[in-house]
Amino acid sequence: MSDPIGTLHRTIDGARVYRRHHTKSDGRDLFLYGYQPHELPPVAGDGLDMNAGAELRRHPLRKTWSIYAANRNNRTFKPSAAADPLAPSQPGAPLTEIPFEDFELCVFGNRFPSLHPSSPEPAQGPLETARADGACEVIVYAPEGTGSLATLGQARRRLLLEAWIDRYVELYDKGAAFVLPFENRGEAVGVTLHHPHGQIYAFPVVPAPQAAALEAFENGYDLAGQLAGWRAEYAIAEAGGMMAYAPPFARFPYEVWISAQVPVSGPWGFDETQSDGFAHLLGDITARYDAFFGTDTPYMLSLHAAPFGQDGAFQFSAQFYPLLRAPGRVKYLASVEQATGIFTVDVMPEQAAKALREVL
């Protein structure tokens, strides 16, 4: 049964945002977000079974954690458009992950999670281990099976931002140490479902890159303070107090970050103008990539907000890592990058910024 329709605390340009909670047949949560209350009855049909079970192991030399999740090896792989598991369910057809005939935007627990609150205690072994406690969620941007952040439109991108904020709040309230919304786009990144969507991981530990970033911010690094000095060479676009730029320390060719021009620890701290600006720039940068590379650009997008309880020093950024170094040429992370973490960057960030700035 579905819970009663509830409203989020925030509104978008005065319009109320609604959220509906539904429990799937296998116990997974599903949340429907929209500008209108979602009141459709669920479609009847056979449910899907969740496959959980994983553990964390710590690398004794790199001092990093890895998730071991054999349950994910049989996850859905490149289904046909007719078997799209992220599409709305239709009466008489096999049930999809979303048991409703229509929706605006939705989030549900991953069927093949690498992190889950019921993960077992790891067996004793030669390494430091930990429970893979946490959450893995899928966020579906729209009912249509095609599209991108560039084509969804500003209203849908704002709705996506509100859903991200809502998941940040709830997952931190449930005990997550770090929450990472992200999107993988394109087969070069390993995408096996082309329906426009992203994911959200709630980790029981703060991963090493975010822990290092937190330490840098606590020691006085001021990302927002750098933006004015970078504007001439590295800025690509600005909107609503937000800047999209190629950071001078970029590791990927044509890497782009979006940051607020005053320190903000996470999207939950955006005001209305910043929210509009951020949502606009998500679409703007995706469109610039596609225009510059002449294709639906494969990329990795991740939102880097403060770990739990660390509002203050931490400064938010959304980071795009495209997987192309030139039109038709993939940027491979080969031996040197994988072995050392030292990247070889084929394009100077200031040149990348100029190219992306001038493409639209």
d(CA 115, CA 205): 11
The domain ranges of the chain are 6-205, 210-359
Helix (H) or strand (E) holding 359: helix 349-359
Helix (H) or strand (E) holding 284: helix 272-293
Q: Are 240 and 212 in contact (CB under 8 A)?
A: no
Query: Could you name the CATH architecture of 6-205?
Result: 2-Layer Sandwich (3.30)
Supply angle C-alpha 13, 152, 299, rounded to 5: 120
CATH number for domain 210-359, candidates 3.40.50.720, 3.30.1360.100, 3.30.428.10, 3.30.300.160: 3.30.428.10
What is the full per-residue pLDDT of the chain (360 aa) written as tens digits?
344 445 564 677 778 899 999 999 888 999 999 999 999 999 987 666 666 778 999 999 999 999 998 766 565 555 555 679 999 999 988 899 999 999 999 999 999 899 999 888 888 889 999 999 999 999 999 999 999 999 999 999 999 999 999 999 999 999 999 999 999 999 888 888 889 999 999 999 999 999 999 999 999 999 999 999 999 999 999 999 999 999 999 999 999 999 999 999 999 999 999 999 999 999 999 999 999 999 999 999 999 999 999 999 999 999 999 999 999 999 988 899 999 999 999 999 999 999 999 999
Q: Do domains 6-205 and 210-359 have the same CATH topology?
A: yes
Full-model pTM: 0.94
Q: Of 359, 169, 158, 140, which is closest to residue 277 (Cα–Cα)? A: 158
Q: Are 235 and 245 in contact (CB under 8 A)?
A: yes
Q: Of 264, 250, 234, which is closest to residue 356 (Cα–Cα)? A: 234
Dump the DSSP string for 66-99.
Answer: EEE-GGGGG---S--GGG-TTSBP-TTS---SB-
Q: Which SS3 state, helix, strand or coil, does residue 338 take?
A: helix
